[in-house]
Amino acid sequence: MKKLLIVILIWIGFGLHDTEAQVFETDYIQALDKSTKEQKPMLILFIDADIEASQNRRLKDNFLNNPDLKSLSDDYVLLEINCDSGNNSSDVAMMYCNRLIRVYNEDRQFPAVIATDKHKEVKGGLQTDFSKTKMSTYFNFLQTQ
């Protein structure tokens, strides 16, 4: 009985943790389709395997775990583009990755985030500074659009 109670508590703990995480689409075609059908803008996160530890920490602390991202997730389609060629992506996925980089991140800066309107036009430019102050300003900007 004691083991069953522990298993249930662990299961509930994992369930509560998962509800806090934002779900990013990883397939561009699916995200584009969802954005078009729901008439929502997109928030595109570009990541790469070579992100430095300090950048990764700021990305997680000030962007991914930011409560403002949770509130924006109702209004935006969240898309994560992993531009690491070693991530076992298909040729088609890498083609879309490279296309999105050419359009939205031509300087190949990682990590980076960019928002589009529902017509896929850029809103506010490419954001590469994930400091707490910059993220607060960026989220405020997106919430007023």
Full set of structural domains in the chain with CATH:
24-143 (3.40.30.10)
d(CA 96, CA 45): 14
Q: Please report the pLDDT score of residue 4 as a whole number.
A: 34
User: What's the half-sphere exposure (Cβ side, CA atoms, 13 Å) at 128?
Assistant: 10
Q: Write out residues in the chain with pLDDT < 70, as ranges.
A: 1-21, 85-88
pTM, 2 dp: 0.81
Tell me the β-bridge partners of 122: 116
DSSP 8-state assignment for residue 25: B
Predicted pLDDT at 17: 38
CB-based burial label for 141 (10 Å; 0-12, 13-18, 19+): middle
Give residue 5's pLDDT.
34
Predicted local confidence at residue 145, as pLDDT: 82
